[in-house]
């Protein structure tokens, strides 16, 4: 999970794994896993998919023992 600056998360809200919450957002309801969200109130903009993961891990060595 990555949470931007000045984000307000209200009590009782559940945030799923692998989420991005944009700066200044107000999270008023639960956020599903693998989603990009922002706004006041916070809304799901899109899902994080395989292409996002491929781009993020491109040229990164994941196993430090190799």
Architecture of domain 2-57: 3 Solenoid (2.160)
State yes or no: pLDDT of 65 exceeds 60.
no
Domain boundaries, the chain: 2-57
In this prediction, residue 44 carries a pLDDT of 95
pLDDT band at residue 49 using 50, 70 and 90 as cut-offs? confident
Please tell me what DSSP assigns to residue 2: E
Read out DSSP for 7-50?
A: -EE-TT--B-SS-EE-TT-EE-S-B-SSEEEETTTTEEEEE--H
- Strand 2-3 relative to strand 20-21, pairing: parallel
Task: Look up the pTM and report it.
Answer: 0.77
* C-beta separation of 14 from 21 below 8 A: no
The mean pLDDT value for 28-57 works out to 90
């Amino acid at each position: 999970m990555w949470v931007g600056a000045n984000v307000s998360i209200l009590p009782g809200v559940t945030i799923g794994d692998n989420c991005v919450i944009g700066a200044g957002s107000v999270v008023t309801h639960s956020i599903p896993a693998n989603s990009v969200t922002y706004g006041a109130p916070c809304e799901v903009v899109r899902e994080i998919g395989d292409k996002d993961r491929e781009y993020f891990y491109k040229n990164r060595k994941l196993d430090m023992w190799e």
